[in-house]
Amino acid sequence: MVNVLEFYKNKKVLVTGHTGFKGSWLCKILTLAGADVIGIGLEPVDDICLYNILNIKKDINSIICDVRDLNALKKIFTKYKPEIVFHLAAQPLVGESYINPVYTYETNVMGTVNVLESIRDCDSVKSVVNITTDKVYHNKEWEWPYREIDELNGFDPYSNSKSCSELITDSYKKSFFKNNDKLAISTARAGNVIGGGDFANNRIIPDCIRASMANETIIVRNPNSIRPYQHVFEALNAYLLIAKKQYEDKMFEGSYNIGPSEDGCVTTKALVKLFCKSWGDVGWQNKNSNNSFYESNILKLDCSKIKNILGWYPTLNIEESINLTVEWSKAYWLNKNMDEISKLQIYEYFKIT
């Protein structure tokens, strides 16, 4: 693995969506790397969340701000003058996007516009990574993995809004940043991430953990759906590598799929079986989905581009990813020192001594 963390020492890094699951882990990793981190995000909806558990705000400049507020965003960029921007702020749930499509589009589409507009007025920024999703592609329910050159056209409001975010980023690059040799912008299309500290509803691994802690049978809605599952550290390491590489050389900017090795593209049923094996003394049952909305059955990613161009490869197999998640989750429910547990997992993954 390419260890990228030394690069971030003393770098000024802005993270939107820093109160979310991936944003909180990213901020923790960056602070351990010695970066000066500015976080922009909403107040967490629930008290039990990774952001609060790790007390992220004590180590960063944490600013509660909605990315839909352009004027507020511009003031933050002007004040802090970041060098590197990771844009993670989003309404991230497919089911919620059917319930609140307007909010989803406002956040995921206009939020992207507002971040890019703020960057236009901030000449300190040299490297930007807009994190979208593997669901940006027009899903044709085929066995072949999607490549970065395949059609963008997400079906549901969440996926579609992220497809729009990709197109907006490309338009801004061509319209406003094409001749800016000091600024590079990429998009990252990551597969389904798992890991300790994810408490979201209607996500399979958090649902498994809640059921296990309550001594209940795990309910699986779509056991035959195939997704590219990977540990959150794998995706974050790729984001960090993309930002570093294009900071050093604009030629590396582009769009990148980020997904697991072939063993990570598994059915929900296979994922749950591995979880039950890792957790121990827990069972599951299939219950037909009552969803009134469409969800794709097969989704795989071709990650040849990031492997060949940036030298990034996943290092955890699916069983190791689940074991890390179970380890963190059991420690949390046993009231252990989660700051230390989290640091140890980061240190081990990133080979920090």
* Element at 140 (helix H, strand E): none
From first to last of the 353 residues of the chain, give the pLDDT tens digit: 447 899 999 999 999 999 999 999 999 999 999 999 999 999 998 889 999 999 999 999 999 999 999 999 999 999 999 999 999 999 998 989 999 999 999 999 999 999 999 999 999 999 999 999 999 999 998 889 999 999 999 999 999 999 999 999 999 999 999 999 999 999 999 989 999 999 998 899 999 999 999 999 999 988 999 999 999 999 999 999 999 999 999 999 999 999 998 888 999 999 999 999 999 989 999 876 555 566 678 899 999 999 999 999 999 999 999 999 999 999 999 999 999 999 999 999 998 75
Alpha-carbon dihedral angle through residues 302, 306, 312, 313, given to the nearest 10 degrees: 10
Set 51, 158, 256, 349: catalytic member: 158
Q: What's the N-to-C CA distance of the chain in angstroms? A: 15
User: What pLDDT is stored for residue 294 in this prediction?
Assistant: 65
Which CATH topology does 8-349 take?
Rossmann fold (3.40.50)
Residue 74 structure tokens: 């511009």
Torsion of CA 198, 257, 107, 20, to 10 degrees: 20
Write out the two tokens for 182.
């000091």
User: Known catalytic residue: 158?
Assistant: yes
Q: Are 208 and 272 in contact (CB under 8 A)?
A: yes
| CA pair distance 91, 110, nearest whole angstrom | 12
- Angle, helices 21-32 vs 338-349, to 10°: value is 70
Query: In angstroms, how far apart are the furthest CA atoms of the chain?
Result: 59
pLDDT at 1: 40
Q: Give the torsion through C-alpha atoms of 179, 166, 258, 158, to 10 deg.
A: 160
| CA 29 – CA 86 distance, rounded (Å) | 13
For strand 226-231 and strand 265-267, is the pairing parallel, antiparallel, or unpaired? antiparallel
* E strands present in the chain: 12-16, 36-41, 61-64, 84-87, 127-131, 184-190, 192-194, 218-220, 226-231, 255-258, 265-267, 284-286
Tell me what pLDDT residue 291 has: 58
